[in-house]
Amino acid sequence: MPLRPTDAEHIRHLSFFRASTDATFDKAIAGGFLQKFPAGTTLLMEGDTVDFLYILLEGSVELGAGWKSKDTTLAILRPVSTFILAAVVLDADALMTAVTLERSEILMVPGESLRRAMKEDAEFCFAVSEELSGCYRGLVRSIKNHKLRDSTERLANYLLTQRARQGGKIEIVLPHEKRVLASLLGMTPENLSRAFLKLQAQGVTVDGARVRLEKVTALERLARPSPLIDNHFAQPRNELGKAHTERQKGLLDGKGSA
Amino acid sequence: MPLRPTDAEHIRHLSFFRASTDATFDKAIAGGFLQKFPAGTTLLMEGDTVDFLYILLEGSVELGAGWKSKDTTLAILRPVSTFILAAVVLDADALMTAVTLERSEILMVPGESLRRAMKEDAEFCFAVSEELSGCYRGLVRSIKNHKLRDSTERLANYLLTQRARQGGKIEIVLPHEKRVLASLLGMTPENLSRAFLKLQAQGVTVDGARVRLEKVTALERLARPSPLIDNHFAQPRNELGKAHTERQKGLLDGKGSA
DNA sequence: AGTGCGGCTTGACTTTTATCAAGCGTCGGC
DNA sequence: GCCGACGCTTGATAAAAGTCAAGCCGCACT
C-alpha cells in the first residue's frame, strides 16, 4: 500500500531522515510504501537484485548468509533499523539474505529515490554516510569479536551487552531463540548449551529464555568487555545491530545508561 | 610537508576525488600533506582519536586489532586505498591499528576538511558514500568467509583470488610473509603450513613465497569460490558503466577503510 | 487427553585448531 | 667465517568446536 500521510509523519523523524529537509524527505521516500510481513518471510535472498532500501519499523529481521549447505546469522535487527543500505547506494546485488523472525512492519523505499535524494542534498547525503559508517564500524566490531574471542567469551560478552541494554538488572531475557543466538555467535546450539554450563562458574544460571547474572564481576573478568569491540551503549537503530551514534570517546567502563 | 601542486594533480584523479569538482577537491584536501613512513611504523592505534583520513599511495599497510594479548590482522591494503574513512566521517575513535608493512607514502587529509567538503558538495558526498559502501561490503564478505569456511578452505580461496589478481598464471607469488597471511586468514602460522600440506592433494606446491597451482579445477572443487564471498574481479575499473563497482576491500588484501 | 513436532539439552565421539617444543635454513652483523 | 635472530616447518599434545544420536519438555493441534 502507498504511504499514508500519518505514516510519513511518523517516519519523518527516524534514522537519517531526521537530518533531511521536508523537500528532501519527500524526494527520498517517493514511491515508498509500508508493508507488513508474517514471521519467517524471506524478504531478500543473497545474490538478488536490490530495488529497495528496507527500514524495519516493527518486529525483527535476521540477516544471514550461506555457503556449501552451511548457514550463518550475520545480524539480528530490531526497530528502527535500515538494512541493505550499502547495496542500495551501489545499486549492487545483495550479499545477505533477510528473513523476518517475527511479524514485521517494514518501510520499503525505492533505491533510485534514495540515491537521487542523496545526490541532490549534501546534508542528507552526509547523514546517510554517517549511517553507513556506523554500520561499517559495527561490522569491524563483529569481526574482532569472532577472530579474537572463543565461543564462551563471545557468549559472556553477549550477556553483558544484553544486560546493559536491558537496564542492568540481575536478570535478562534472551530476545531470540537459542538456536538463532547460537548462529549469531558463530557456534552450534549444542555448544551454546555447553557454553552456558561453563559460565555457571561465573554465576550464570539459565531458565528458558531467562538468564540470571549473579556474579557480574566474575563474568566481566572472563568476558573482558572492551569499548573497541562491544558497544553497550548503542541504540538498536541501524544495520548490523551496532552503534549509530558512536559516542565512545572517554567511555572506558562497562556501565552506563541506555 | 605541505602538498605540492604536482602531487595534488596526481591525487586529483584517485579514489573518490575523481567525482569531485576542482573547487571541492581543493576544499577536501585543504591542509592535507604527503608523508613517507618506513616499514613497521604504527600510524594509528586502536582507540586513538582520528584526525586525518589516510590515503595509501605507495607501499602497504596492515589494519589489525588486539584483545587480551591476542592480535589479528583485519586487512592488508595496497595502493590506492583509503583507510579509517568511517571513523573520520563520524569523528570517532579508531577501531583498528594501522601499521606500515613496507616503506609507504601516505596522503593525510584533515578529517574536518573532508567532512566539510562532503557537507557542501552532494556529488562528492555521494562518491564517498559509494566508497564507504564498498568497504562495508568487503567486511560482509570477510565475515562470511570466516564464519562459513574452515581454515583450509579460506586458504584455498585466497590462493584462487591471488591467481585471478596475478593474471591467472600457474604460479603465484605470496605478497606477504606467511605469518602475516596466517593472521589475515585467522589461523596460526603452524596451521598455515599444515593447510598448505593438505592442499598438495589439490596440486598446490609451495617454494618459499612461490606457489604453483597445478590442478586448478581440483582446487576449485574444494574451495568453491563464490561471487557472494570472494571478489576476484575487483581491481580493474569497469570500463562500461558503474565506474564505482566495489573493489576488493577489507577481506583478503585490497582496499579497505575504517 | 493424546499425539507429534520442534527446540533444547546431554553424552560420546570426531574433527579442527591451538599450543608447546624442537629443528632447519636464511640473512645480516660482527 | 661464525653467530644469533627470525621465519618457517614438523611433531606431539591439548583444547575447542562440530557431529551424531538419544532423550526431555513444552506447545499446538486433533
Is A191 near strand D, with its CB below 7 A from some atom of it? yes
pLDDT for res B6: 81
Of A89, A116, A144, the last residue of a domain is A144
Alpha carbons A130 and A136: distance in angstroms, whole number: 10
The reply to whether A228 falls in a domain is: no
Alpha carbons B257 and A163: distance in angstroms, whole number: 31
Same domain, A39 and A97: yes
Same domain, B206 and B116: no
The reply to whether B254 falls in a domain is: no
Same domain, A167 and A135: no
Q: Residue B101's domain is classified under what CATH number?
A: 2.60.120.10
pLDDT (tens digit, 9 = 90+) per residue, A16-28? Answer: 999 889 999 989 9
Confidence category of residue B256, pLDDT binned at 50, 70, 90: very low
Q: Residue B205's domain is classified under what CATH number?
A: 1.10.10.10
The reply to whether B244 falls in a domain is: no
Same domain, B109 and B167: no
CB-nearest partner of A118 from B49, B85, B126: B126
The reply to whether A246 falls in a domain is: no
The reply to whether A67 falls in a domain is: yes
Same domain, A80 and A205: no
Same domain, A63 and A83: yes
Q: Which nucleotide is nearest to A150 (CA to C1')?
A: D16
The mean pLDDT value for B107-126 works out to: 96
Range of the domain at A60: 5-144
Residues with CB under 7 A from strand C: A 177-179, 189-190, 192-194, 196-197, 206; B 150-152, 186-188, 190-191, 194
Of A106, A125, A144, the last residue of a domain is A144
> What mean pLDDT value characterizes chain B?
90
Output phi, psi for A200, to 5 deg.
-60, -35
**Where are the strands (E) in B28-142, listed by range?**
33-37, 42-44, 52-58, 61-67, 70-77, 81-83, 97-100, 104-110
The reply to whether A73 falls in a domain is: yes
Same domain, A82 and A161: no
Same domain, A123 and A13: yes
pLDDT above 50: residue B247: no
Which of helix, strand or coil describes residue B77? strand
Same domain, A12 and A134: yes
A67 to B226: CB separation less than 8 angstroms, yes or no: yes
A148 to B96: CB separation less than 8 angstroms, yes or no: no
Residue A79 cell numbers, joined: 526497530
Q: Please give the distance of CA B78 from its chain centroid, rounded to a whole number.
A: 6
Residue B69: burial class (beta carbons within 10 Å; 0-12, 13-18, 19+): exposed
CB-nearest partner of B119 from A120, A123, A147: A123
The reply to whether A202 falls in a domain is: yes
Q: Looking at chain A, which residue has its C-alpha nearest residue B251?
A: A143
Same domain, B62 and B128: yes
CB-nearest partner of A126 from B119, B144, B258: B119
The contacts of residue B23 (CB under 8 Å, 6+ apart) are: none
B132 to A137: CB separation less than 8 angstroms, yes or no: no
Q: Count structural domains, chain B.
A: 2
Residue pairs between chains A and B whose CB atoms are closer than 8 Å: 177
pLDDT (tens digit, 9 = 90+) per residue, A190-247? Answer: 999 999 999 999 999 999 999 999 999 999 999 999 999 999 876 544 444 444 444 3
Report the gap between the CA of A110 and the closest CA in chain B (Å): 17
Q: Scan for cell 574451495, then name that residue.
A: B223
pLDDT above 50: residue A104: yes
pLDDT above 70: residue B240: no
The reply to whether B255 falls in a domain is: no
Same domain, B140 and B167: no
**Omega before residue B80 within 30° of 0, cis:** yes
Same domain, A25 and A123: yes
Of B120, B145, B170, the last residue of a domain is B145
B141-CA/D26-C1' distance, Å: 39
